[in-house]
Amino acid sequence: MSDTTSRPRWGQTELELPVMPAAPPEGREPLIRIRDLNRHFGPRHILRGVSLDVYQGETLVILGGSGSGKTTLLRHLMAMLRPEDGRITIKGVAAGGRDLDMASASDEDIESYRRNLGVVFQMAALLNSLTVLENVGLPLVEVDRLPPEQVRERVVESLRRVYLPAEEILNLKPAALSGGMRKRVGIARAIIQRPRIILYDEPTTGLDPVTVNGVNELTLDLQKRLGVTSIVITHDMNAAFMIADRIALLYKGRIVACGTKDETRLNPHPVLQQMLTGSTTGPLTEGYGS
Amino acid sequence: MNARSRTKDTAAEVVTRSHAGRAAERTGGVLMKQARHAGRGVLLFVDTCAQVRNVGSVLPQLMRQVEMAGFGSIVVLALIAGLTGMIMAMQTGFELQKMGLQENLGAIIGATFLREMGPIWCAIIILARVGAAMAAEIGTMVVNEEVDALRVMSINPVRYLVLPRVLALVISMPLLTAIADFVGLAGGALVSEAMFDVTIAKFKESAILLLNGPDFWYGVFKSGVFACIIGTIACDRGLNTTDGAEGVGRATTSTVVLSVVFVLVSDFILNAFIQAVMRPIFG
Ligand SMILES: Nc1ncnc2c1ncn2[C@@H]1O[C@H](COP(=O)(O)OP(=O)(O)OP(=O)(O)O)[C@@H](O)[C@H]1O
Ligand SMILES: [Mg+2]
């Protein structure tokens, strides 16, 4: 579909129309339910009513242009930002297995939720003063207070799971690792507490194609073997179609498209089509250039 | 003519007033911002104190910080204190010699070092060497999302990052102050003997009253307070870094500037407090 034929059918306001979360796939329960989430930074309205369901055990990929608020959305899911408006509820992760309501959650609830949460940060976010062993084992040492032998065992297991030569790198500092290895170590740290939910912020940006595939396979693998629910932010279309169960598009602070891979391919939404084709003409680049 | 000049006056007045207004607004804005920052710093300090009961869990970090902050600063601090002691002995010595009072060099240098020079030099060296580095390190961690990563792992950054740093300063700065006092006096004694024929024994005799009095402890006490101020400012600035690498630079600079100001302001207040409250009790 070319942009010139699609444009007359889509006015700017229609482009921004939010989609309501679709009916659950195969009757599954939503684990995470986001409703009408808003966020301002100063006068700027970044998230403008995000509504999204994430189902137990699925991998949801969130696409979106630079600055569309993807990381901001993820930070809400990390409980780093509380919803200023709207609701985020997560099933059975609050203290005592209750549902978590992000707006009214106590510190104890948040702590219990985070115990079930792994986050892969964009730049891996390893602590530079610590070795790989200390980095990956950090939550076990600091939160679970496990003895050193047990920590080491779990760290080695976790590093093996991300296909790293554990024995070789255990005592290296992050600065001595390549970018791809660092990211894998970041993933190893994210999964070491065996989380139920993993959030990935652009896990493959800046990596070579082989490592990209490695990280993608790892995401799939973790979903299959550990049954985790994953939310993945990425700019990489191949990755999105490789790992996603469903794909959502964040545009101008709203989810404007959300569906399975096939639905996404067939969705005529111009922003989505522009992201899929990588065309430089389209609503994402409107007003840029000449 | 009259009317025209009046209009001109009024126009000029409007311009000045709006300039003044804007300047006042800006000053007000800056003051409000600084007040907010100060409030935030106080909260961070309270938070840090509340975490002291968890000190057992951060012992390795504490050791590392003491090593970096404390041991790393000994040489440069001793050098500066020693030189200051020598320079002071020289400068005051010439004047005292004119009046034949050079025997009192020990008391003068002792008083200056124990009361002010020791703690203040120690604070200056630590805030420039260690406070700035702390702000830069924590600021970089914020920019690299490392602090976010800690939070997500339910590791309290105040316990994990701030507590060992502030505590390391509280432990090492009083000791460093004692070292600065000693080296400064030694430097003074050397110059006194070499230039003014005041033997070391005489120098000591003149300083002994001070050395035996509570002044040494007042200085050490002050340096403990300075440690809290510098550590808290550095960590607060680091933790509130925004805007990437540029922000790290800003955090570092403002740590140094703010620490100097707050150390001196608190020095003034503490001296008044010591004179009014502690001297009547301890002498
Ligand atoms: N703490 C903050 N303070 C002020 N503005 C912020 C803050 N965090 C994010 N923003 C703004 O919100 C907008 C969305 O940021 P966000 O990081 O969520 O984008 P993104 O979709 O992740 O982009 P990218 O793909 O480039 O990572 C940006 O314009 C950013 O300037
Ligand atoms: Mg981002």
CA angle A54-A57-A60, nearest 5°?
A: 45
Q: What is the pLDDT of residue B8?
A: 47
* The pLDDT of residue A229: 92
CA of residue A182 to ligand 1 center, whole Å = 24
Confidence band of B280 (pLDDT split at 50, 70, 90): confident
**Quick one: pLDDT at residue A288?**
54
Q: CA B115, CA B159: separation in Å to the nearest integer?
A: 33
Start-end of H helices in chain A: 3-6, 12-15, 70-77, 107-115, 132-142, 148-161, 166-169, 179-191, 209-226, 237-243, 261-266, 270-277
Distance (Å, whole) CA A268 – CA B9: 66
Complex ipTM: 0.86
Average pLDDT of chain B? 88
- With a cut of 80, say whether residue B18 has pLDDT above it: no
Q: Domains plus CATH for chain A?
A: 56-91+98-115+196-285 (3.40.50.300), 127-195 (no CATH)
CB contact under 8 A, B153 and A122: no
pLDDT tier for residue B260 given thresholds of 50, 70 and 90: very high
- So what's the pLDDT on residue A268? 84
Q: Give the pLDDT confidence score for residue A24 in this predicted structure.
A: 58
Contact B148 A122 (CB under 8 A): no
Tally of domains within chain B: 1
**What is residue A5's predicted lDDT score, i.e. its pLDDT?**
45
pLDDT of residue B14: 52
Ligand nearest to the CA of A69: 1
Answer whether A35 touches B (CB < 8 Å). Answer: no
What residues does A41 pair with on adjacent strands? A44
Confidence grade of residue B13 (pLDDT, cut at 50, 70, 90): low
Do the beta carbons of residue B84 and residue B40 sit within 8 Å? no
Q: Candidates A70, A251, A271: which one to mutate for ligand 1, based on the most atoms within 8 Å of Cβ?
A: A70
Of A121, A129, A193, the CB nearest to B149: A121
Helix B105-112, helix B163-196: angle, nearest 10: 160
**Cα–Cα distance between A161 and A151 in angstroms, integer?**
15
The H or E element that residue A39 is part of is strand A30-41
Model confidence at B6: pLDDT above 60:
no
Whole-number pLDDT of residue A265: 87
Our CA angle for A122, A245, A29, nearest 5°, is 105
Residue B41 lies in a domain: no
- In this predicted structure, what is the pLDDT of residue A164? 86
Asked if residue B49 belongs to a domain, the reply is: no
Mean pLDDT of B88-107: 89
Strands A117-120 and A100-101: unpaired
Q: Please give the distance, rounded to the nearest whole angstrom, from the Cα atom of residue A53 to the centre of ligand 1.
A: 22
CB–CB of B211/B189 below 8 Å?
Answer: no
Supply the range of the domain harboring residue B139: 58-282
- b or e along A81-109 (b: 16 or more beta carbons within 10 Å of the residue's beta carbon)? bebeebebbbbebbbeeeebebeebeeeb
Question: Does a structural domain hold residue B85?
Answer: yes
Is the Cβ pair B155, A139 closer than 8 Å? yes
- Amino acid in the structure at residue A187: I
Q: Tell if the CB–CB gap between A142 and B152 is shorter than 8 Å.
A: no
Does B1 have pLDDT greater than 50? no
Extract the tokens encoding A285. 């680049």
Residue B20 lies in a domain: no
Among A123, A126, A156, A122, residue whose Cα is nearest residue A138: A126
Q: Which residues of chain A have pLDDT under 70?
A: 1-12, 20-27, 287-290
Task: Please tell me if the CB atom of residue A20 comes closer than 6 angstroms to any atom of ligand 1.
Answer: no
Q: What integer pLDDT is reported at residue A219 of this predicted model?
A: 86
d(CA A118, CA B153): 8
> Is B132 a residue whose pLDDT tops 50?
yes
Q: Say whether B146 and A126 touch across the interface (CB within 8 A).
A: yes
Nearest CA to ligand 1 atom 18: A69
Q: Quick check: is B18 in a domain?
A: no
**What local confidence, expressed as pLDDT, does residue B17 receive?**
60
Quick check: is B43 in a domain?
no
Q: Which residues in chain B have their CB less than 8 angstroms from residue A128's CB?
A: 141, 144, 146
Alpha helices, H only, A7-88: 12-15, 70-77
CA dihedral (A226, A224, A184, A239) positive or negative: negative
* Residue A40 Cβ < 6 Å to ligand 1: no
pLDDT at B101: 87
- DSSP structural state of residue B163: H
